Structures are given as structure tokens and as C-alpha cells.
Amino acid sequence: MRLTFDHIAVGCSDLAAGTGWVETQLGVTLQLGGKHRRYGTHNTLLGLGDLYLEVIAPDPNAAAFDGPRWFALDRFSGPPRLANWICQTTQFDPIAGPPRDLSRGDLRWQLTVPEDGSLPYDGAYPTLIKWGAGSAHPASTLRDSGCRLRSFVVSHPEAGRIAAMCDLTDPRVQFRKGPKGFSASFDTPSGVRHL
């Protein structure tokens, strides 16, 4: 199952705080994204050329919804941080959870979300996405921030096993055995910056 790196998610408890953290770290301004009614979340976005970064948080003004939030946001605590990565696929892997049909405006997509809203291997195994026919990829519609991803490191005690499960040839993605977490480096208008 061939995967293509699609986008990075920064999780946070408060969207303004998460957006401010990314803007301070990278020295650029994010764009308003939108609301995800099915999961009671909202986001801001940053174009990175061929992919993008989203900051996502629970929406305090969301209407009632059925089930847990995606990206393990119901269990999120602490400061904003890299929390997940998302890859495009043409065939869904059960490891990632069942695909859910989602939409917002003109966008249509399927995204894997386990029943409990968790992240497989604590997010080290990517969430999988398939964009609907006729949906423009968000990276192609966002303004150019002048930022580009240099590297994205997935750290996990089972990094070797997870890497073997991912048919991904993107040289920017590296798997390292270690404590659970992510790090990323970016070329920005102000030089190399890190999250």
C-alpha cells in the first residue's frame, strides 16, 4: 500500500494558543481553516508547498456530536505540539481504523478514525486520507507561506516495525527508535526553524 505524505497536525487544547505557538516558532502567519462538525473541532492552516500544516483543537462552540473527537483530542493535555501526521492512500489499512466520509464546503475526503478516536501507535503510524474526486488539495489553495518542510522525524520504541508497515518513500520522513513523539524542521523566510 503506497503512501504519500499529505499533512502534519499540531494538537492543542485552545486553537488561539496553538496557532500562536506555531506562528512564533516559524515566524509566519497561519490562515483560518474551518470547523469539523462531526468531531467538534476547528483549525488553522499553513501552506508548505506540496503539503500543509494544520493546528487543530476542540471547538468550544461546537454543537453536540456523537462519539469521541478524532486525533485523540479528548485525551490531549499540555502545551501545543506536533501530534499526528497524515498520509494519502488509495487503499485503507485496518491498522489505521475505519475510513469516515467527511466534507467541509467544496472539500470531500475519507479519513481513518478508530472508534475510540485514538491514534494508532500513539500517532507514529499515520492517519490515512483519500481526497474525493474534484476536491482541490488544501496545499494547492493556501497562500504560499514561504515555508517548506525539511524533515519530519517519527520517534517511537517500535519505529523499525512502524517504518516497515509504511510504504513511504518521502526522504523527508525519518523513523527513529526512542521516546514517543515527533520533531520537524522547516525552511522559512527567517531561516531554518523547528517544531
**How large is the average pLDDT for residues 98-108?**
89
Strands 31-36 and 127-131, by their bridges, are: unpaired
110-165: pLDDT as tens digits: 999 999 999 999 999 999 999 998 888 999 999 999 999 999 999 999 999 999 99
Predicted TM-score (pTM) of the model is 0.94
User: What's the pLDDT score for residue 92?
Assistant: 92
Q: Which residues pair with 152 in a beta bridge?
A: 173, 184
- Nearest by Cα to 92 from 63, 121, 125, 62: 125
User: What's the pLDDT score for residue 41?
Assistant: 93
List the CATH code of the domain at 4-142.
Answer: 3.10.180.10
- Nearest by Cα to 84 from 187, 170, 156, 192: 156
- Nearest by Cα to 86 from 124, 40, 58: 124
User: What's the pLDDT score for residue 141?
Assistant: 93
**How large is the average pLDDT for residues 74-85?**
95
User: What's the pLDDT score for residue 103?
Assistant: 87
| CA dist., res. 158 & res. 168, Å (int) | 17
What residues contact residue 23 under an 8 Å CB cut-off, 6+ apart?
A: 29, 30
